[in-house]
Structure 1
Amino acid sequence: MKPRKQTRTISRIMVPTDFSPGSAEAFEYAIALAKRLKADLILAHVIEPFPYNLVEGMAFSDYGDRLTPPVQRLLDHQSKRAIKEKIPVKTRLIEGAPFREIIKMAKRERADLIVMGTHGRTGIDHLLAGSVAEKVVRLSPCPVLTVRSVPAASKPGSGKARSKSKGRKANVLKDKATLI
């Protein structure tokens, strides 16, 4: 007799966002998944501190303080999409290195899954910018579902077709998502 496979229940889905189109697509995917699994969402953003005082007249410590209110408003605005679908959602805003803080937050929040966008950078762009998603995939304490952003020019259909797909279900997006 074969041993039974242990199934993992997904009840908390963390969605890191940088407010890019790719992150928005990942959030839509996470909403569809959370709705289907009856899971809670954790919408998170990490403010990366400037390594140098680049803005004259602004103290280094003021940088994060000045960004926090507008970024929190963006998180709150985005979370309304989940609330509209009756999905429990909480927002988290922290300062630090994005991949490190995402990993710490996933542990702290006991996330069962991370759903995040990836820009799909290659070559010199990837070399210079690195990949937050790649680092999260390698170091995450839980599975990571990456949703690759597809440039608008390469998407099938026109703007009309794009707007119709706003409320798409998770199974429609499976070609764009990778579970690692």
Structure 2
Amino acid sequence: MLIPGFTFHPKKILVPMDFSVSSISALAIAAELAQQFHAELYLLHAIPMLTMVTGMEFPTAFYPRQEFLDNAEQDAVKRFADFIVNLSGQGVKAHSGVEIGNDVVGSVLMVSKREHADMLVISTHGMSGWRPVVFGSIAEKVVKLAECPVLLLRSAKTEGGEALEGDE
């Protein structure tokens, strides 16, 4: 249903990415939207300082070494460079950034404001078990707290109902 007098024409679309299959799929959708609206994309990778170690009876939090953070940031910058070249070939203007902090959701919201994003395109991971119950879903929190429209894309599932590899 169209609302008379209402138009939505995003100029800048923020795409938070963790480089999972679902976030790369979200980037493809965001690129299509950017082409349609002649919008710019801003790709964001937020590196959490507080990392969870699983495989133990109870998850344990630790602060990663600076070397780990530097390597993670360099890896993200390299990945984004490849995405930006590909997007440029599609006629889509794109920029990227890497944020390091304790709060991924806070980083996404801060960058959204700083970059004047008109829209966010984010994917879910379809996690189950104790993680989303204890920590909540990043995508869910972004949807609740973002000041601009958010397009939330579900992760693709296999026939057995499991999230695709790299999405858990």
1:1-180 superposed matches below 5 A: 5-50=5-50, 52-53=62-63, 60-96=65-101, 97-153=103-159
Shift in Å, 1:29: 0.5
Query: Per the alignment, do residues 15 and 4 of structure 1 end up closer, same or farther by CA in structure 2, a change over 3 Å counting?
Result: same
Report the AA paired with residue 37 of structure 1. Answer: F
CA contact (8 A) 2:49 2:63 kept: no
C-alpha distance in 1 between matches for 2:160 and 2:32: 23
Shift in Å, 1:122: 4.1
Query: Where does residue 56 of structure 2 map in the other structure?
Result: none
Which structure 2 residue ranges, 5 or more long, are not aligned?
Answer: 51-60, 162-168
List per-residue Cα deviations over 1:97-127 (Å, max 9, x = no partner). 2111000000000000000111123453421
Query: Where does residue 176 of structure 1 map in the other structure?
Result: none
Query: Normalising by the residue count of structure 2, what TM-score does the alignment of the two structures yield?
Result: 0.79
List per-residue Cα deviations over 1:71-115 (Å, max 9, x = no partner). 211121222231120100001111012111000000000000000
Which structure 1 residue ranges, 5 or more long, are not aligned?
Answer: 55-59, 156-180
Query: Tell me, what secondary structure is at the counterpart of 1:18?
Result: coil
C-alpha distance in 2 between matches for 1:75 and 1:144: 21
C-alpha distance in 1 between matches for 2:74 and 2:39: 28
CA contact (8 A) 1:14 1:44 kept: yes
CA RMSD of aligned residues (A): 2.1
Larger radius of gyration: 1
Query: Per the alignment, do residues 65 and 125 of structure 1 end up closer, same or farther by CA in structure 2, a change over 3 Å counting?
Result: closer
Report the AA paired with residue 75 of structure 1. Answer: F
C-alpha distance in 2 between matches for 1:53 and 1:95: 12
Shift in Å, 1:153: 3.5
Query: Per the alignment, do residues 86 and 124 of structure 1 end up closer, same or farther by CA in structure 2, a change over 3 Å counting?
Result: same
Identical counterparts, % of pairs: 29
Q: Which one has a larger percent helix, Structure 1 or Structure 2?
A: 1
Shift in Å, 1:26: 0.5
Shift in Å, 1:9: 2.3
Query: Normalising by the residue count of structure 1, what TM-score does the alignment of the two structures yield?
Result: 0.74
Q: How many residues align?
A: 148
Shift in Å, 1:130: 2.0
CA contact (8 A) 2:26 2:153 kept: yes
Report the AA paired with residue 46 of structure 2. Answer: V
